[in-house]
Amino acid sequence: MARRRFAIVLGALVCACAGTPAATPLAATAPPIPIAPAGAPPLETIETPHEVAPREWIGAAAASDYLARRSSEQLVGVWVDVPPSKLDRVPLAVALAIDTSGSMGGKPIEHARQAARKVVESLVDGDLITLVSFDGQARTIMAPTEITPGARRRALATIAELSASGGTALHDGVKAAEMALLGVPDRYLVRRVMVISDGQATVGPSDPQTLGNLAEVGMRHGIQVTALGVGLDYDETTLDAFAVRSSGRLYHLETSDGLPGIVAGEMDVLGKTAAAQAELAIVPAPGVTIVGIDAVRSVMDDGTAKIPLGVMFSGQQRDVLVRVRVDDRGLGQRALASVRLLYRDPADGGVERVHESIVRATVTDDAALVAEHQHDRTQAIIALREASMLAASASKLAVDGDLAMAAVNLEAAEKTLRQRAVVAKSEPERKQMLDGAARVSRAKNKVRTAADAPAAARPAAGRAAVLDTNDAFMTFDGY
């Protein structure tokens, strides 16, 4: 799967102090807010007739508070920290797409049924449920239905009848689930397809690009995909594409017995959605050009980078690393960009809001100032992106059978994160680095175990190592 990545240069980097985020309702047809011209009041203090939300969601800074005048390309970290939702729970519209192909026979289909039951049991009256099964063809076995006591019983009875046989029409299964959600009422801001599969598409379109396009079309209508890959035979590039192209989520389970618990956790976080149809917009200041966005799907629109995030739930964190070129480097403080989070607020009837942070830096000829004033949060994002790229490279190497070099890359990724943890100034950042290092270490150990396995056992052990490594870098990238 093609992924947007760029080389991280850990030399002279720029940082800016993030401006105080502001939040106001945003009209659906409102044009981008211009960066205030010289002499105008800061955007954070401009009077508006709208309600101002009291929470801070978004921050941004470059790699140091000071920018070396001789340096042209700079890294800017952007982060979204989602506060608790004002609602106990938001209405959900969920479509389950369950693989019922022959390879799901036995324990896998039993555990898939248990997972589907968990979904139905987690829904509350008024939510919507859709059930789709796919083997050699896709079937909508329960059209979008509002949950009532009677509807819940019918859904559970339908799930109990699922059995496994035939091929795997993955494309048609996901398409049927997305089509079912297209017509749901507007009050359902959370529209989620949950795909449970243990195999590769064998019927209909099967390449990751086509399947990823399907997910992207759904995303344009507010539909996201949670992909649950079970076992060692599913195509991780396809499930990666579902997650990335819909800004959804990916789970890797070596055995199907973990399905019910994973699904229960996913339903819990979806119910805590605090923002829907979220999008990041990064607007460069005059004299600044965006030249790269790392690890996320983005679209450039007249110089502005737009990054769809979809629904965001309480406690979620998303990080983005942006590479910019600064053409005007006169000495003194200057704005680099306006970073905006646009979303619909489920707690206020879906009203559209925007939070903003201004990225600033002081241009200097003193290299010591650049080195002494690095921004902690952005440096952590840089470390995570470097670890992600090393893990992605390790996954490809493992697929190609070069387990020894895959282990070397994972060792480097783990070292990067542990070194960052040592100098971290905040406990949350330190924990994030150590958790990431532990995840990479587990993948590294699996790669080494696979390399040392007897010839007969090496293919299965190598496949397990590939999927664990893929899971690691997808987690670093926020999926």
pLDDT band at 72, cuts 50/70/90? confident
Q: What's the pTM value of the predicted model, to 2 decimals?
A: 0.83
Give the Cα separation of 395 and 409 in Å (integer). 9
28 found inside a domain: no
35 found inside a domain: no
Q: Identify whether residues 382 and 366 lie together within a single domain.
A: no
Domain termination residue (choose one: 225, 248, 271): 271
- Rg of the chain, C-alpha, whole Å: 23
Q: Identify whether residues 178 and 225 lie together within a single domain.
A: yes
Number of domains in the chain: 3
Phi-psi region of 238 (alpha: psi -120 to 50; beta: other; left: phi over 0): alpha
Segment 401-424 shows an average pLDDT of 95
288 found inside a domain: yes
pLDDT reading at 2 higher than 90 = no
What is the amino acid identity at position 315? G
* Per-residue pLDDT, 295: 65
**What are phi and psi for residue 302, nearest 5 degrees?**
55, 45
Q: Identify whether residues 288 and 389 lie together within a single domain.
A: no
146 found inside a domain: yes
pLDDT reading at 46 higher than 50 = no
170 found inside a domain: yes
pLDDT reading at 55 higher than 80 = no
Percent of the chain topping pLDDT 70: 88
The token pair at 276 is 């829907």
Domain termination residue (choose one: 334, 350, 374): 374
Segment 344-366 shows an average pLDDT of 94
Least confident of 22-26, 69-73, 236-240, 337-341: 22-26
Output the CA angle 365-416-313, nearest 5 degrees. Answer: 95
Q: Identify whether residues 246 and 383 lie together within a single domain.
A: no
**For residue 113, what are the contacts with CB-CB under 8 A and spacing of at least 6?**
159, 160, 162
Output the CA angle 149-151-154, nearest 5 degrees. Answer: 115
* Per-residue pLDDT, 71: 77
- The β-bridge relationship of strands 73-81 and 190-197 is unpaired
Give the Cα separation of 334 and 403 in Å (integer). 47
In Å, what is the CA distance from 260 to each residue of 97, 255, 256, 264? 15, 11, 9, 6
What's 113's domain CATH number? 3.40.50.410
Residue closest to 354 by CA, chosen among 32, 13, 4, 16: 32
Give the Cα separation of 462 and 294 in Å (integer). 28
Percent of the chain topping pLDDT 90: 75
Strand partners, 73: 325
The residue segments making up the domain with residue 412 are 377-476
256 found inside a domain: yes
Phi-psi region of 332 (alpha: psi -120 to 50; beta: other; left: phi over 0): left
What tens digit of pLDDT does each residue of 130-184 get? 999 999 999 999 999 999 999 999 999 999 999 999 999 999 999 999 999 998 9
What's 293's domain CATH number? 2.60.40.3670
**For residue 307, what are the contacts with CB-CB under 8 A and spacing of at least 6?**
279, 280, 281, 282, 293, 296, 297, 298, 299, 320
Q: Identify whether residues 326 and 426 lie together within a single domain.
A: no
What tens digit of pLDDT does each residue of 218-232 get? 999 999 999 999 998
Give the Cα separation of 296 and 6 in Å (integer). 12
326 found inside a domain: yes
Least confident of 275-289, 316-330, 355-369, 434-448: 316-330
Least confident of 30-39, 238-247, 271-280, 462-471: 30-39
Residue 156 CB neighbour total at 10 angstroms: 14
What is the amino acid identity at position 339? V
425 found inside a domain: yes
Segment 369-384 shows an average pLDDT of 94
Q: Identify whether residues 102 and 222 lie together within a single domain.
A: yes
Q: Identify whether residues 100 and 210 lie together within a single domain.
A: yes
Output the CA angle 421-422-426, nearest 5 degrees. Answer: 60
Q: Identify whether residues 122 and 213 lie together within a single domain.
A: yes
Q: Identify whether residues 321 and 185 lie together within a single domain.
A: no
Segment 53-62 shows an average pLDDT of 76
Q: Please say whether the dihedral angle defined by the alpha carbons of residues 8, 14, 19 and 25, taken in this order, is positive or negative.
A: negative
Q: Identify whether residues 340 and 422 lie together within a single domain.
A: no
Domain termination residue (choose one: 248, 271, 294): 271
Q: Identify whether residues 469 and 321 lie together within a single domain.
A: no
Q: Identify whether residues 142 and 264 lie together within a single domain.
A: yes
